[in-house]
Amino acid sequence: MFELGLLCPEQSVEALSDALDALDALSVSVEDADAQTDAEHALFGEPGMPPPAEGWQCSRILALFATEEAAREASRLLEVQDFFEGCQLLGIHPVEDQDWVRLTQSQFEPVEITPEFWIVPTWHEPPAAAKQVIRLDPGLAFGTGTHPTTRMCLRWIAAHPPRGQRVLDYGCGSGILAIGAARFGAGRIDAVDIDPAAVQSTKDNATANAVELHAGLPDAAQGRYELVLANILATPLKVLAPLLCGHVEKGGHLVLAGILERQAGELTAAYAPYAELAVGDTQDGWVLMTARL
Ligand SMILES: C[S@@+](CC[C@H](N)C(=O)[O-])C[C@H]1O[C@@H](n2cnc3c(N)ncnc32)[C@H](O)[C@@H]1O
């Protein structure tokens, strides 16, 4: 295969990508050309907030073609189009054939939560010291154990095993926290998410880990639980404060993640009418906040 590389200003990305598709590119990928430089701008806002920008100021577009001639022909045709103004051809390079599946898999190593508790992709053997293992492959839903917020929640579960407890995983993503709770002896487990794909992913991962749980949309959370886990983000967590606290049994635990260190004060204030939140763990600029009701 041959890769055609282009630089492109924000306003031309869509037209150029569509044109590459129409010119039989096998794939078209768009990257931030300013990534890792002083010119890089964040694009993602929190849920409910507008993104700080619509698109990258300058994008690098990489298109794969089956032959060098097809890539050259595409670049010749693109260069004479109106929308090519401000774009720049980076070049055409051969791409060596690789085992792409193996390459992708090699980027996901087992993740250590504690020396005895690991998240292990199905294509890896669990480490010898692992006594508790969650088998999980990267998929559509968030939660492969690599993110600090997930790891802090799992560390908390390992340190406070919810033996026999009713557990609610609110915003379950891949279901990793619910499965983690099951590994540490939880009783009835409900796992809910607003995203139906996450609900399905949780069901699939629970089956693959031989864990019994009840996954569904948020309405499936019913009654009170001795442990409520919610790894979402600060803004939705603030909105959900009365709902989440209303699901915690008297004397039960609330464990929240997805909160940046600088947001801890806002969360404490939002939960103050219902619970006394405190920072229980920190990792890479994120905090875990917990309360006993
Ligand atoms: C950061 S992921 C966490 C996934 C997993 N629990 C973990 O710890 O890795 C947050 C999940 O919360 C879900 N979510 C976001 N807002 C929600 C809401 N208001 N109610 C329920 N789920 C929500 C998202 O769809 C997403 O799957």
Residues 112 and 85 grouped into a single domain: no
What is residue 35's predicted lDDT score, i.e. its pLDDT? 85
Is 209 part of any known ligand binding site?
no
* Containing structural domain, residue 48: 2-97
Q: Report pLDDT for 106.
A: 73
Regarding whether 171 and 272 lie in a shared domain, the answer is yes
> Could you give the CA distance from residue 221 to residue 207 in angstroms, rounded to a whole number?
20
Domain boundary among 64, 97, 130: 97
Tell me: do 76 and 116 sit in the same domain: no
Q: Give the residue, out of 49, 140, 232, 233, with the most ligand 1 atoms within 8 A of its beta carbon, to mutate for a pocket test.
A: 232
Residues 36 and 154 in one domain: no
Provide the b/e sequence for 30-55 (b: ≥16 CB within 10 Å): bebbeeeeeeeeeeeeeeeeeeeeeb
Domain boundary pick from 97, 119, 148: 97
CB of 59 closer than 6 A to ligand 1?
Answer: no
> Quick one: pLDDT at residue 17?
95
Same domain, 199 and 175: yes
Q: At residue 35, what is the residue type? A: A
Which residue in 226, 230, 237 sits closest to 263, CA to CA? 237
**Is the minimum distance from the CB of 232 to ligand 1 under 6 angstroms?**
yes
Going from the Cα of 162 to the center of ligand 1, the distance in angstroms, rounded, reads 21
Collapse the DSSP code of 187 into the 3-class scheme (helix H, G, I; strand E, B; otherwise coil) and give the result: coil
pLDDT value of residue 47: 59
Q: What is the pLDDT along the chain (293 residues), one digit of tens a residue?
A: 999 999 999 999 999 999 999 999 999 999 999 888 887 776 666 656 666 666 788 999 999 999 999 999 999 999 999 999 999 999 999 998 887 767 777 777 899 999 999 999 888 899 999 999 999 876 666 777 789 999 999 999 999 999 999 999 999 999 999 999 999 999 999 999 999 999 999 999 999 999 999 999 999 999 999 999 999 999 999 999 999 999 999 999 999 999 999 999 999 999 999 999 999 999 999 999 999 99
Ligand 1 centroid to residue 174 C-alpha, Å: 9
* Structural domains counted in the chain: 2
Quick one: 15 and 137 in the same domain?
no
pLDDT at 38 (0 to 100): 80
pLDDT of residue 50: 65
Going by CA atoms, what residue is nearest to atom 11 of ligand 1? 171
Q: How far is the CA of 171 from the centre of ligand 1 (A)?
A: 3
Domain boundary among 70, 97, 124: 97
> Do 9 and 57 sit in the same domain of this protein?
yes
Please indicate, yes or no, whether residues 151 and 86 belong to a single structural domain of this protein.
Answer: no
Q: Which atom of ligand 1 is nearest to the CA of 141?
A: 27
Query: DSSP letters of 16-46?
Result: HHHHHHHTT-SEEEEEETTTTSTT----PPP
252 is in an annotated binding site: no
Question: How many alpha carbons fall within 13 Å on the CB side of residue 280?
Answer: 22
Is 205 one of the annotated binding-site residues? no
**Do residue 144 and residue 173 come from a single domain?**
yes
Using a 6 Å cutoff on CB, does residue 167 contact ligand 1? no
Amino acid identity for residue 83 in this structure: F
Answer yes or no: are the C-beta atoms of 169 and 188 closer than 8 Å: no
Confidence at residue 221, expressed as pLDDT on a 0 to 100 scale: 98
Is 155 found in the same domain as 51?
Answer: no
> In whole angstroms, what is the distance from residue 136 CA to residue 140 CA?
12
Domain identity same for 69 and 184 = no
pTM of the model: 0.76
Ligand 1 neighbourhood includes 255 CB (under 6 angstroms) = no
- Is the beta carbon of 215 within 6 A of some atom in ligand 1? no
Return the ligand 1 atom nearest residue 150 CA. 8
Query: Is the C-beta atom of 139 inside 6 A of ligand 1?
Result: no
Tell me how far apart the alpha carbons of residues 23 and 29 are, in angstroms, rounded to a whole number.
15
Same-domain pairing of 145 and 164: yes
Residues 170, 171, 176, CA angle at the centre, nearest 5°?
95
User: Residue 241's domain is classified under what CATH number?
Assistant: 3.40.50.150
Residue 122 Cα distances to 101, 108, 136, 138, angstroms = 13, 10, 7, 10
CATH number of the domain where residue 52 is located: 3.30.70.120
